[in-house]
Amino acid sequence: MIHFENVSKRFPGGHYGVSNITLNIESGALAFITGHSGAGKSTLLRLIALLERPTRGQLLIDGRNIGRLPENEIPAHRRKIGLIFQDHRLLNDRSVFDNVALPLQVRGFPVREVGKRVRASLDKVGLLKKEKVLPITLSGGEQQRIGIARAIVSRPPILLADEPTGNLDPDLSHEIMDLFLAFNQLGITTLIASHDLDLIKKLDRPVVNLQQGELR
Amino acid sequence: MRVTLSTRILAWLDQHRRCAYSSYMEMRRRPMASIMTLLVIGITLALPASLLSLLKISQTMTGNHQQNASISLFLKNGIVDEKALKVAADLELRPQINHVELLTSADAMEEFRSHSGFGDALDALDDNPLPNVLLIHLTPNNSSIDIRELAAELKEESVTDSIEYDQGWIERMQAITQAIRRAVQALGFGLGLAVMLIIGNTIRLEIMNRREEIEVTRLVGGSDDFIRRPFLYIGLIYGLFGALIAWLLVSILLMLVSGPLGRLAELYDTAISLSAFSLQALLLLIPIGISFGLAGAWLAVSRHLSSINPE
């Protein structure tokens, strides 16, 4: 599903985000990416979402080398991916419903279908009753769950989460991880960058450990 | 889900409707700023539009006058009344001529006598010195060139002594309006560009304000078209409402000048309907406003959207 082959990302100025990574994530897998801050966890995820382009090597998604994907095909590529961020990246001038609906709107879904799917998605993260409120009025854990609802609402084959529990206490972190496990059971290939080693140990899943941009 | 073509089209239409509505609501969130911008656009568009309207009105008036144009043909001495009537009948066959009136030397003398007050002096003359005159009334829709050609031909007729027609001032008037029209068109073009830049700048600010929204939309796979759309609608709405304000201003101006213009029209023996000009201005302003609005938005969007990429 996701295949890195000798992939490097060198930033202008000479600093390497990741260096010579070879890695294969099977379809339907759930894996963690660990490492200190600055070790390249985010860069790895950003490469998959084409928020960065690799400077060397081949990055195959679904058998297609995306390193040279033309600009105008990037939106279609990103629609295969649900993205979750530590800071949620919700739009605070729109209701929860509108935030979660955005991925469906960019795909041109009919309004009724949007309504059905948004509510199904909010239901899965347990926030069905909050659809009309603004995200800013919710707690950190709730906002993260809205972010997750937005990522899964279009049922993408790949889910990427960058420090999804970074700002949450252990109980909330557990809840969020349980959500990821549940989605993974539905066959969504999931990559989670995290430095919460205790939590990761309990879950017993493949772990990719990065140090200074290289695999350990 | 089964996606048929019709549900696709409906979804697309619905997207556009919602997009237009939300763009409109976006403008209403900052009413003062939006209204100021609209006024600037409206005044800028109203300037050339009102000049064009006034130009059209003056053209209509001179045009009507031309319809009443006539040529006076002075017959040579010794052409008797019967002969003159025959010439008149022949001339009436020409397509440019509506009808011909014979003013005999006796009629002319009578008229002169009663109007000039030189009655006694005239009695002292042996003969009537005044010639027979044919008053040639032209058909409408003769161009000034037609009239000039006809006059030249008439001058060559054997019975003609001389001819007179008051074509000069019409031609001068037409030349002047032509020059003014050019100037107004150039001015209109320049002010249209100004409107485009005003709208472009407004959209640029809008894009900066909605930077985060654009980034997030890119993150969830929004295409350039999708991201561009609301800004193009804002441009379109500014153009449309700006045009309506311009039209309002033009209508007010026409109302203000309608009194004096009415008297002027009376003097020219024509009637003009200002509401027709007002409607014409509306039909001209709306497409122009919309296209300048869209063009300005497109300019801003193509310059600034590509620079906004998610962190």
B86 or A180, which is more confident? A180
Is residue B255 within 8 Å of residue B274, measured between CB atoms? yes
Provide mean pLDDT across the span A132-156: 95
Mean pLDDT score across all residues of chain B: 84
Is A187 within the bounds of a domain? yes
Using CB atoms, pick whichever of A106, A110, A113 lies closest to residue B221.
Answer: A106
> What total of structural domains would you count in chain A?
2
Integer CA distances (angstroms), B199 to B20, B202, B297, in order: 16, 5, 6
Give the per-residue pLDDT at B269. Answer: 66
Separation of alpha carbons A209 and A213, rounded Å: 10
**pLDDT tens sequence across A102-124:** 999 999 888 889 999 999 999 99
* Arithmetic mean of pLDDT, B22-34: 85
Q: What is the DSSP letter of A163?
A: S
Q: Which two tokens stand for residue A138?
A: 């919710």
Mutation test of the interface with chain A: which of B12, B213, B220, choosing the one with the most A Cβ atoms within 10 A?
B220
Q: Running DSSP on this structure, what letter comes out for residue B306?
A: G
Same domain, A8 and A115: no
Is B118's pLDDT higher than 80? no
How sure is the predictor about A130, in pLDDT bands with cuts at 50, 70 and 90? Answer: very high
One domain, residues A161 and A149? no
Closest to A150 in 3D by CA, of A171, A167, A125, A168? A125
User: How far is it, in rounded angstroms, from Cα B271 to Cα A18?
Assistant: 82
Domain, as residue range, for A122: 90-155
Q: Measure A103 CA to nearest chain B CA, in Å.
A: 5
Task: Nearest by CB to B213, from A51, A76, A91: name it.
Answer: A91
Instruction: Check CB contact under 8 Å for A83 and B220.
Output: yes
Contact indicator for B40, B239 with CB cutoff of 8 Å: no
Q: CA-CA distance, B212 to A93, in Å (whole number)? A: 11
pLDDT of B203 strictly over 90: yes
Q: Which tokens in the block code for residue A37?
A: 């801050």
A140 and A174 in a single domain? The answer is no
Instruction: Return the DSSP state at A94.
Output: S
Could you tell me if A145 and A57 lie in one domain? no
Instruction: Name the burial class of residue A43, with classes exposed (0-12), middle (13-18) and buried (19+) by CB atoms within 10 angstroms of its CB.
Output: buried
Q: Is residue A168 part of a domain?
A: yes
Final residue in a domain of this structure, among A113, A132, A155: A155
Asked if residue A85 belongs to a domain, the reply is no
Q: What is the mean pLDDT of residues B301-305?
A: 91
Q: What is the 3-state secondary structure (H, E, C) of A167-190?
A: CCCHHHHHHHHHHHHHHHHCCCEE
Same domain, A168 and A209: yes
Q: Which residues contact B178 (CB under 8 A, 6 or more apart)?
A: none
Q: Is residue A95 part of a domain?
A: yes
Which helix (DSSP H) or strand (DSSP E) does residue B103 occupy?
Answer: strand B97-103
Q: Where do we find the tokens 């600037």?
A: B40
Query: What is the rounded distance in angstroms from the CA atom of residue A46 to the CA atom of residue A77?
Result: 13
B269 vs B39: which has the higher pLDDT: B39
Q: Which of residues 74-93 of B touch A (CB under 8 A)?
A: none
Question: Considering just the CA atoms, what is the radius of gyration of chain A in Å?
Answer: 17
Sign of the four-CA dihedral B109, B110, B116, B122: positive
Do A190 and A171 share a structural domain?
yes
Which of A107, A136, A155 marks a domain boundary?
A: A155
Q: Say yes or no: A2 and A62 in one domain.
A: yes
Domains of chain B, CATH where assigned: 16-64+172-307 (no CATH), 70-165 (3.30.70.3040)
Mean pLDDT of chain A, nearest integer: 93
Evaluate if residue B105 carries a pLDDT over 90. Answer: no
